[in-house]
Chains A and B, each alone.
Chain A
């Protein structure tokens, strides 16, 4: 029944519109085509001015209203060392494009209004103006040069890999449909070798158990990182393309099967510090659970998040991992609680190629040394 009514309404609306259309055609005939066109010119040029003013106001007001979600403004500031550089490129671009946007729109609709066809008005024959054209080719070219230089400066600093002697924590994120496996190097600071053919059963990322570097590696269900420590994420995909995306840190890089990629960054704000910043903004002082108005506020439950940003299949939207940035002491404490995956789950099971053999690490049960941060193992060259 409802469907029928909706269909009838649409048909009725179409008929009404067609009749309006017919009617205006008829009145135009009566008034004379020319006069009707002049009237239409006047109306539509006025509408154009109204549109332009309302539209520009809407743009400015909505931008002000949404400023807390813009890069580098309010609570949406970067939580990584390099993020600020990107945010400032964004701001400069916003400034220049904003000016161009307003000027061109004002001119477009103002000219439309001013030069709409009126009784007795005539067009001017202006075919070109070389001086003007040189100016408006040169000015955008100069502005673009400025933006390119600024942008590339930031880009080449951000994307640089770690140097061989640099102190860095390397963590591996392996993406698969539809989750992440996060692997930390253990006390040796080195991630053990892998082979995708070994994946299966208890070995979800294909660690090679004959490689002693793997013995102390551990996996975590959260990405926990110490604040102020340079981190190199080794990004790996097991099946299809994924993307390692940390929105608050301005980190994004595809995970490509068969080709490990990386992103190097330094977190500068702990989760607690970021929460304290969010507390200042009203939108984060709303209850995080709408059904429980007296429960925790949004800023209290805030967590950094890891998301997938490359379409990877039906569960693409659900690849979440929590990210925690903590102080170095907390991090050390956390690491000391982690257990080596090999020693807890593989050692002396049927999956262990070293079953029965004595290893130098026996009978170590937990990772001991936590402070030693690590030398990066050379990764496969990126093409």
Chain B
């Protein structure tokens, strides 16, 4: 990767050398102090680009584990009659063998898998893996900063995530199993070790792990916010920031305001578990014993949890939206349509996400009158979301579309976001939620809109910025196979779940045999399981493509392979400390000058022509 250091000076290089801002960065000659040996370069790195890779690869490992778990529990749901004896070498005592030699997944482990799948994908993959990767990579590069505001905190952010991962991973090997009360961990189930094996040590470790995780998010978030606010290069006004940066910025604010509330909820839960307090416990008789606790309310936990939990879904989807906006604009060779409307809709979504949390709790026993407000605010979110969708579609209109893996995943994202967003209108309306709450309709809704869609945003980002990350391309043909297979497969998995949900089938059921209302769907469940297995294998193809391309992919020979106008592509292909070898660039225009005045693209460092107006200013 180092053979390209002596690249001829490009037009942008000259502009940066002549007009860029001299921050005397390399005068100090401490440039590579932080990357001088193996440990400081690859392990305890303080360089945002390396930390970004660390987040990405850790996130990918977790994604494989989390998705693999879903395959195991889908086998139970799709083929309840089949023997799972062949999984015994992997799962040991969690496969129970009956007298006929038929191996069954133990119900407690089924619930543990469901819980771990949710926790892992929501927090470790789609929060750390997505936001951690791309905020780290793109914030300094796209705003023209040498690095994050605090490289040290940034390093700590990753290592707290790592610590949290270790604790969670360890909890899977406990004899009582990992936590099994659902990723939302509602007390009293999560508070009472007597109520479920998973609520014993597994739950303690779950809480410890996620507390470390929140520390990681907060350290990262405070860094992202500070960097965006203080380290923008000369000329990079807020209105000249790419939408990716806007998305990461608002995401970090959401995280900073909501995660501490989650931790406070966790602490109260820890007190209830270990110190005999009654924040969430009242009048409970469990395991042959009436507990002393009175006066607490399980609903309180739900409020604290969803006060994070709802912004959390936007913490997941906003970065994906930002990535998609950028990728679509670059590959349609057209400015993003309605840049300011896009920014305002990000801000509106971010604001509204804080006042809708109780729409997860319509049927949890809160005063029905209160739900009125939450219904109104929830359905208002549809408006900025619709604006974003229309703007993406309008961006494609009149474009000169380059259809490759990143842009295909971006288009797929839009399709998924529409499908999943529209079902949100059903669920956000409390009247329909009476029937739909906690059914497969909900499972279909959130998997499409924040699960698969966020993954599509992430894939678009990985394919698009892989040249920046590793100096090579990922294989585009494999990428397209990955795209079409995953798009069709994801709809094959989740579309039928809407019907099962409308029929009233509740989620988190180990078996439907007990209920004649719910047992009509054996064939559909089989179909879903088969589709899930195919999609899982396709993701393995992505992982193979990823690691193969790191070492064997097509080498990037031009700095700006996508002919993009943003700053990250003015940096050298090989990663250097401080990002730009000389001056940092001075910015003269908004980031979306594509197809303007007959030119294919104009880099942000290009000064405005005589009488030319910055197109982003209106």
> Nearest 5 A-B pairs (CB), nearest first?
A258-B282, A247-B504, A159-B368, A151-B429, A69-B503
Tell me the bound Cα distance from A255 to B525 in angstroms.
29
Q: In which size bucket is the chain B interface?
A: 35 or more
Indicate whether A294 reaches chain B with its CB closer than 8 angstroms. no
- Asked if A151 and B363 make an inter-chain contact with CB atoms under 8 angstroms apart, the answer reads no
Given contacts A18-B478, A241-B298, contact A124 B383 (CB under 8 A): no
B156 at the interface (CB under 8 A from A): no
A3 to B425, CA, bound (A): 46
Distance of A71 Cα from B441 Cα, bound (Å): 12
Binds A, one of B214-222, B396-404, B576-584: B396-404
Given the contacts A100-B422, A136-B387, A316 and B435 also touching, CB distance less than 8 Å: no
Task: Across the interface, name the chain A residue whose C-beta is closest to B332.
Answer: A123
Say whether A123 contacts B181, CB under 8 Å.
Answer: no
On whether the beta carbons of B404 and A40 are closer than 8 Å, the reply is yes
Q: How far is the CA of A238 from the CA of B108 in the complex (A)?
A: 21
Asked if B403 and A314 make an inter-chain contact with CB atoms under 8 angstroms apart, the answer reads no
Inter-chain contacts of A251 with B (CB < 8 A): 434
Residue of A nearest to B505 (CB): A247
Give Cα A199 to B284, complex, Å: 10
| 18 more A-B residue pairs beyond the given contacts A18-B544, A111-B396, A137-B383, with a C-beta to C-beta distance below 8 A | A17-B541, A25-B475, A85-B431, A93-B425, A97-B425, A101-B422, A104-B389, A126-B337, A136-B386, A151-B375, A152-B376, A156-B369, A158-B431, A176-B285, A256-B297, A311-B186, A313-B181, A316-B508
B interface residues, Cβ below 8 angstroms from A = 86, 107-108, 111, 180-182, 186-189, 192, 195-197, 281-286, 288, 290, 294-299, 332-335, 337-341, 363-369, 371-372, 375-376, 379-380, 382-383, 386-387, 389-391, 393-394, 396-404, 408, 411, 414-415, 418-419, 422-423, 425-426, 429-432, 434-435, 437-439, 475-478, 480-481, 484, 487-488, 491, 495-496, 499-500, 502-504, 506, 508-512, 514-518, 520, 537, 540-541, 544-545, 548, 554, 592, 594-597, 615-616, 618
* Chain B minimum-CB-distance residue to A261: B365
Docked CA distance A119–B508 (Å): 53
Q: Are A44 and B403 closer than 8 Å at their CB atoms?
A: yes
Q: Is the CB of A112 within 8 A of B411?
A: yes
Residue of A nearest to B284 (CB): A257
Is residue A20 contacting chain B, with contact meaning CB distance below 8 A? yes
B435 touches A256 (CB 8 A): no
Please pick, from A58, A240, A303, the residue contacting B188 in the complex, using a CB distance under 8 A.
A240
Tell me whether A133 and B387 are in contact (CB under 8 A). yes
Known contacts A86-B431, A238-B285; A126/B397 CB under 8 A: yes
Q: Which of B400, B434, B475 contacts A86 (CB 8 A)?
A: B434
A44 contacts across to B, CB distance below 8 A: 403, 408, 480
In the complex, the answer to whether B403 meets A40 with C-beta atoms within 8 Å is yes
User: Within A236-285, which residues are at the interface with B (CB < 8 Å)?
Assistant: 238-241, 243, 245, 247-248, 250-254, 256-259, 261, 283
27 cross-chain CB contacts under 8 A: A17-B544, A18-B545, A21-B476, A40-B404, A58-B495, A62-B495, A66-B499, A69-B500, A69-B520, A89-B431, A90-B432, A93-B425, A96-B425, A97-B422, A108-B415, A112-B401, A115-B397, A122-B400, A125-B595, A127-B592, A144-B382, A152-B430, A156-B372, A238-B285, A238-B286, A258-B284, A307-B515
Which listed residue, A71, A115, A154, touches B398 by the CB 8 Å rule? A115
Distance from A350 Cβ to chain B, minimum over Cβ atoms (Å): 18
Cα-based distance from A318 to B111 in the complex (angstroms): 14
* B interface footprint on A157-192 (CB within 8 Å = 1, 0 otherwise): 011100000000000000011000000000000000
Q: Say whether A107 faces chain B, with CB atoms less than 8 Å apart.
A: yes
Collect the chain B residues with CB atoms within 8 Å of residue A334's CB: none
Q: How far is the CA of A17 from the CA of B541 in the complex (A)?
A: 8
Nearest CB of chain A from residue B221's CB, rounded to whole Å: 30
Contact call A254/B340, Cβ cutoff below 8 A: no
Instruction: Check A155 against B189 for contact (C-beta < 8 Å).
Output: no
Does A41 belong to the interface (CB within 8 Å)? yes
Could you tell me if B403 and A89 are in contact, using CB atoms closer than 8 angstroms? no
A147 contact from B379, B402, B403, B415, Cβ within 8 A: B379
Identity of the chain B residue whose Cβ is nearest the Cβ of A313 in the assembled complex: B196
The answer to whether A241 and B189 touch across the interface, beta carbons within 8 angstroms, is yes
User: Which residues of chain A are near B376, meaning CB under 8 Å?
Assistant: 148, 152
> Most B CB atoms within 10 A — which of A115, A121, A176?
A115
| Nearest-Cβ distance from residue A377 to partner chain B, whole angstroms | 18
Cross-chain contact of A125 among B197, B334, B548 (Cβ < 8 A): B334
A12: B residues at CB distance < 8 A: none
Q: Are B403 and A253 in contact (CB under 8 A)?
A: no
Other-chain contact of B401, A115, A196, A257 (Cβ < 8 Å): A115
Find out whether the CB atom of B195 lies under 8 angstroms from the CB atom of A252. no
- Asked if residues A155 and B480 are in contact (CB atoms below 8 Å), the reply is no
Of chain B, the residue at the smallest CB distance from A98 is B422
Contact A298 B516 (CB under 8 A): yes
Tell which of A25, A125, A155, A307 touches B368, judged by Cβ atoms closer than 8 Å. Answer: A155
Q: Assess whether A47 is interfacial by the CB under 8 Å rule.
A: yes
